[in-house]
């Protein structure tokens, strides 16, 4: 047996063990719940299909949350409308901690500005704690002869009518980020091609239907490692450990271009402070586990944690920032 095959089998056994332990923890029964914890099965809503970043962190955290809360935790993918359906369901749920949202920044801080008649206010969600942060990478097709942001912008300006770029959805962070980049770099024209999620977007990306896309580092990483695309800029405060050769925006002269696709845990409006405290303590305990942190950092993401107040500050900051960008560049979810 070759070394690669042995390594693959070892990885498979580790994955099986994690799945068994996760199943045991997720079936934890009531009776050992801390004060303020929900007293019935917890439904953790995800507004996107299985396989994406939000679904990943929700399913990774669910077993540990179940063990810490003494309740079964069920992850439910309630998809549609750019995350709005799951967000609205959480806003309307009973405020007892038994319905929670793993919500990223798009439905919470961007959609209120890109959907003209949203009908509800995501800022009424109660922050529990940060689950994960993922800086974005400006990822370009392997055929594009650019290795940095300046080279890419010059290449864009030389294309008649401007190049096509993709996003994981109209009005999404990847859409808004590219429009901000285009304006900051003085690129006169680019054509936006929106998709319903990173999966279909990346399928067309590697096929060459468009030339570039802002995406989270973890979903972009397999294509970069395969040589099908390459990064020219990351939006983190520092370089990514999994993409050390890609310079940050600040290193390339783009100031105030630091942001991430974060995913937070939220509860319905009116959730008691004691329940929020219990949920936050459970989340921080899960994210402190070395195995959990290792799974997150291995794909280029950053583990969350911290207080509800810290997540609330991020929400307010991004609501103001992306609201201004959406207004300045006339971005809509139906573009």
Q: In sequence order, what DSSP letters do the residues of 242-276 get, joined into one string?
A: TBTTSPBTGGGT-TT---EEEEEEEE-TT--HHHH
For 135-252, the fitting CATH number among 3.40.190.10, 3.40.470.10, 3.20.20.70, 3.40.50.10800 is 3.40.190.10
| Domain residue ranges of the chain, discontinuous segments joined by + | 11-27+36-134+261-329, 135-252
| Per-residue buried b or exposed e for 245-259, using 16+ beta carbons within 10 Å of the residue's own CB | ebbbbbebebeebeb
SS3 67: helix
Helix axes 217-225, 198-206, angle to 10 degrees: 30
Q: Which pLDDT belongs to residue 335?
A: 63
Q: Which pLDDT belongs to residue 103?
A: 96
Q: Which pLDDT belongs to residue 25?
A: 41
Q: Which pLDDT belongs to residue 333?
A: 86
With beta carbons less than 8 A apart as the criterion, state whether 331 and 151 touch.
no
State both tokens at 237.
Answer: 């405060």
State both tokens at 270.
Answer: 């009116």
Query: Measured between alpha carbons, how far is 272 from 39 in angstroms, rounded to an integer?
Result: 13
Residue whose C-alpha is closest to residue 224's, from 151, 301, 294, 137: 137
Q: How many CA atoms lie within 13 A of 41 on its CB side?
A: 8
Same fold? 11-27+36-134+261-329, 135-252: yes
With beta carbons less than 8 A apart as the criterion, state whether 19 and 11 touch.
no
Q: For every one of its 335 residues, what pLDDT tens digit does the chain have, with 9 covering 90 and above?
A: 333 433 443 444 344 444 434 444 444 444 467 889 999 999 999 998 888 889 999 999 999 999 999 999 999 999 988 899 999 999 999 999 999 999 999 999 999 999 988 999 999 999 999 999 999 999 999 999 999 999 999 999 999 999 999 998 899 999 999 999 999 999 999 999 998 878 889 999 999 999 999 999 988 999 999 999 999 999 999 999 999 999 999 999 999 999 999 999 999 999 999 999 999 999 999 999 999 999 999 999 999 999 999 999 999 999 999 999 999 999 988 76
Q: Which pLDDT belongs to residue 204?
A: 95
Angle at 316 between CA 315 and CA 318, to 5 degrees: 65
Torsion of CA 65, 319, 317, 300, to 10 degrees: 50
For 11-27+36-134+261-329, the fitting CATH number among 3.40.190.150, 3.30.300.30, 3.40.390.10, 3.40.50.300 is 3.40.190.150
Q: What's the distance, CA 46 to chain centroid? A: 11
Q: Which pLDDT belongs to residue 254?
A: 95
Query: Measured between alpha carbons, how far is 21 from 11 in angstroms, rounded to an integer?
Result: 15
Query: Measured between alpha carbons, how far is 292 from 61 in angstroms, rounded to an integer?
Result: 8
């Amino acid at each position: 047996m070759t070394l690669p095959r042995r390594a693959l089998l070892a990885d498979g056994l580790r994955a099986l063990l994690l799945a068994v332990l996760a199943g045991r923890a997720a079936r934890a029964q009531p009776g050992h719940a801390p004060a303020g914890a929900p007293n019935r099965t917890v439904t953790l809503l995800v507004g996107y299909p299985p396989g994406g970043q939000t679904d990943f962190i929700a399913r990774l955290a669910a077993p540990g949350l179940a063990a810490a809360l003494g309740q079964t935790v069920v992850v439910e993918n309630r998809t549609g409308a750019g995350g709005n359906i799951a967000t609205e369901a959480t806003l309307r749920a009973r405020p007892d901690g038994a319905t929670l949202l793993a919500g990223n920044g798009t439905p919470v801080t961007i959609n209120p500005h890109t959907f003209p008649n949203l009908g509800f206010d995501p800022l009424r969600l109660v922050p529990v704690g940060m689950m994960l942060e993922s800086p974005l990478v400006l990822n370009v097709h392997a055929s594009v002869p650019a290795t940095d942001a300046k080279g890419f912008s010059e290449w864009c300006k030389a294309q008649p009518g401007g190049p096509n770029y993709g996003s994981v959805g109209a009005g999404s962070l990847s859409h808004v980020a590219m429009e901000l980049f285009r304006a900051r770099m003085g690129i006169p024209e680019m054509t936006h091609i929106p998709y319903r999620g990173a999966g279909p977007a990346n399928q067309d990306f590697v096929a060459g239907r468009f030339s570039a896309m802002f995406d989270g580092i973890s979903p972009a990483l397999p294509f970069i490692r395969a040589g099908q695309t390459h990064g020219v800029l990351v939006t983190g405060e520092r370089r990514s450990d999994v993409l050390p050769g890609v310079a940050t925006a600040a290193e390339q002269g783009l100031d105030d271009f630091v942001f991430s696709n974060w995913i937070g845990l939220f509860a319905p409006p009116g959730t008691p402070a004691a329940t929020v405290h219990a949920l936050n303590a459970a989340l921080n305990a899960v994210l402190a586990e070395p195995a959990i942190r290792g799974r997150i950092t291995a794909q280029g993401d950053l583990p969350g944690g911290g207080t509800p107040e810290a997540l609330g500050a991020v929400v307010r900051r991004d609501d103001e920032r992306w609201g201004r960008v959406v207004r300045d560049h006339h971005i809509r979810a139906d573009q």
